[in-house]
Structure formats: C-alpha cells, structure tokens
Structure 1
C-alpha cells in the first residue's frame, strides 16, 4: 500500500515486499525493527470500555429533550482523551481507534486527546458506575449526571 502511495519510493519498498512475500525470516528485522512492543491487552480493553461508555453517554444525550440537555455543557459529555506523557499507551491507542481506524469516529474531538493530566482513575470511577447500571446504552439524564460526577 505504501508503495502505491509513494511511487517514487519503489526501490525502498520492493525488497521489503519480497522479504515478506517469500518468508525470508532472517531479514524480518529490517522491516519489523521499527515496530514497537505489543500493546498490552489490558490497555486496549480499558480504552474500548471507556470509549463504549462515552458512546453510551453521547447517544443517550442525543435522545434527551432540549430542557434536559440544558443541564450539560457540550464539553461535559465529550471524550477528552488521556495524558500523553503518563498514559501514552492509552492515549495513542484511543487516538488511533477514534481517528485512524474510525471505529469511534462519533467521538472525535477537535481539541485533540491530550488531557495534560491523568484520567485513568476518573474513567475507572465512571466505569464502575456504568457497570452498576449494567452498561446501559440508553441512559437517563440523571444516570448521565451520576456517571459524569465521578
């Protein structure tokens, strides 16, 4: 795919494609040397849980009437992200699935996803309340407030 996007770099990509197509394992390091360690599964699971929570909040908020919606600021219900320095794995994976892979494009945030402060504790508290509500996807105004108040 990169070869097609960058035709001027064919000489770079062709040997790498040949290595992979032919299974030349002694040369895999040439290609995979730039690949990071695997993302821990618990990180991706946490990110998916948090994004699913925010999806439930967003969809429930959209079903509220205008009077009920007036109890919230739009920033209250927006997925804000993670601290890029302290929660980098969470930050980078969330950014990828929201913007790159587009699974959660409905949660895109024009302000970015770097909160500049730790968020995992708060999100954990929010998830705990959502779990108590059996991970409902159709939340009432009061349930949304209860989750966000954590």
Structure 2
C-alpha cells in the first residue's frame, strides 16, 4: 500500500462484481466504469488490485481480470496485485481497484456535475479551515 500511495496524489477506489461465464472480465469492467470511480483511470501510474472469488475461481480468470485493468492504465504503471479465495463468494467475482498517480484534475475526464470545480475548491490553499463554514466570508448574508 505504501509503495503505491506515497507521493502519488489523489487516490480513487472502485469495486466491481459479476457472476456467470465471463465474470472476471465483467467484474473488471464494472470496477473501471463504476459510479464510485467518477474519473477515467487511464494514465494511472500506480494500481492496487485485489480479485476475490469463490473456490471455483481459476488462475485464468484472475489473469483475464488483471489484463483488463492493466490495459486501462498507463503502460508503465506499477500494479500490485492480490487474490483472495472466499468460499462464501460462490459463483461471484469481485475486483477492487485503488488507482493513484492520475493526471491533474484539469486533465481528468470528469462528469459535468461541477465535480472538477468542487475538487479545486476543496484542495485549494485559499480555504480557511480555522473558521466554521457559517462564519466564512463567502457564506455570510448581508443584513
């Protein structure tokens, strides 16, 4: 975790799961396109990848899921991979991604809901964290 996270900037986490014949590929795609991951992970330079499945999960399925993730990030990305077998998963596979080293906020493919502006304000040095929000100048109402 330290290798991927240290000095890498913001981290984005996503989880995808699937059942059935192509569960490994579908779980990986679901993680990449998850509503939780509101950015494009293309260009990520660090990835923590965990794949969890039942006792019937094969190494070939694990490799397929890892290939989908690897093809979606920077070609030179440092990908640290783990696999867990959980008998409770039955026919389900779950792919968890933590991506770091993403391009700057301006370069990211964010949705149009104002998230980029929200992030800019949230991480700006101009924020006055010593004052509660209702006392900050931008929130005061004229009397």
TM-score over 0.5 for the pair? no
Name the TM-score, length of structure 2 as normaliser. Answer: 0.27
Q: Find the structure with the greater CA-based Rg.
A: 1
Question: Which structure would you say has the larger RCO, counting Cα contacts within 8 Å and 6 or more residues apart?
Answer: 2
Greater helix proportion: 1
Greater strand proportion: 2
Name the TM-score, length of structure 1 as normaliser. Answer: 0.27
